[in-house]
Structure 1
Amino acid sequence: MTRKLAAAALVILGAAIVWFNSGHDAQSVMVEVDVPELGATEQEGAELFAAQCASCHGPNAAGKDGVGPPLVHVIYEPGHHSDMSFFLAARMGVRAHHWSFGNMPAQPQVSDADVAKIVTYIRALQRANGIY
């Protein structure tokens, strides 16, 4: 009987670990993002995004629950947030207005050239996910 209980406990523990590691934690992504095949500049933008932005905005701009919003979201479509809004956000920060994550601080370590590549990547993700 003790072995059966121990085996059952291991199965439950293993299932809990799999569930926890599959993104069901307090910082899981907020939206599902289909990633298209990327061109050279978009790929550079993806690498820069991963290094500079993903800690708050999640992998592939999917957002991070409790941390930062998804950028692959209709709120950030080009007609509502132009490319310039991303440059301004990086230079000046952003006051919280669409989401309740708090203000975004300026990101002075990211150059304008890098922001341009990041925006190219984000726009490619948006298009691939039906956001024009």
Structure 2
Amino acid sequence: MKKPVLIAAGVAVVALAGTLLLKKDDEASVAAAAGSALVAVKVPALGDEALKGEALFNDNCASCHGKNAAGRDGNGPPLVHKIYEPNHHADGSFYLAAMRGVRAHHWPFGDMPPVEGIREDQVASIVTYVRTLQRENGIF
């Protein structure tokens, strides 16, 4: 009688340990997904102004909008997205967003604060970079 009870207890312990290990793996997967890119972005060869914009984007925007403007899960939307095509969001909207911030209206990421210390000429370079990425990815 003791042997079946011990076997059942052993099976229960192994099952519990397996469940805990799987749960830990799932939590790690969720943590890894947070901050991951939201869209795939093809990056073309960049001209001088776009390269300057890339550096400025990485310093001022990528923490929320992700590397290559692909967005970051849980942080900010991708700018290489049809919502930001020039006919819907003209270049001026990028200037206003950077200088004044913007209220959330397309995405559930919350309001975007102004980018501290950014200048209009720097935003112009960032816009060149983002528009170059958009064109390469079929967003006109």
TM-score range, shorter chain: 0.7 to 0.9
User: Matches of 1:49 and 1:125 in 2, distance apart?
Assistant: 12
In structure 1, stretches of 5+ residues that fail to align are 1-15
Partner in structure 1 of residue 68 of structure 2: 60
**Cα RMSD, aligned residues only:** 1.7
Following the alignment from structure 1 to structure 2, what is the Cα–Cα distance between the partners of residues 65 and 40?
30
Equivalent residue for 2:92? 84
Residue aligned with 2:33, SS: coil
Flag the structure with larger Rg. 2
Quote the sequence identity (%): 58
Tell me the alpha carbon deviations over residues 50-104 of structure 1, each in whole angstroms, 9 at most, x when there is no partner: 1110000000000000100000000000000000000000111000000000000
Report what 1:126 is aligned to: 134
Task: Report the Cα distance in structure 2 between the residues aligned to 1:25 and 1:124, rounded to whole angstroms.
Answer: 27
Bigger helix share: 2
Q: Within 5 A, what are the aligned runs for 1:1-132?
A: 24-132=32-140
Q: What is aligned with 1:3?
A: none
CA shift for structure 1 position 108: 3.2
- Give secondary structure in 2 for the equivalent of 1:63: coil
CA distance in 2, matches of 1:115, 1:81: 15
Give, in whole Å, the separation in 1 of the partners of 2:115 and 2:87.
24
The runs of 5 or more residues in structure 2 that have no matched partner are 1-24
TM-score scaled by length of structure 1: 0.82
Paired with 1:27 and 1:90, the residues of 2 have a C-alpha distance of 21
> What's the TM-score, normalizing by structure 2?
0.77
Distance 2:43 2:86 in 1: 18
Q: What CA distance in whole angstroms lies between the structure 1 residues aligned with 2:105 and 2:127?
A: 20
Structure-2 separation of matches of 1:49 and 1:100: 22
State the secondary structure of the residue aligned to 2:55.
Answer: helix
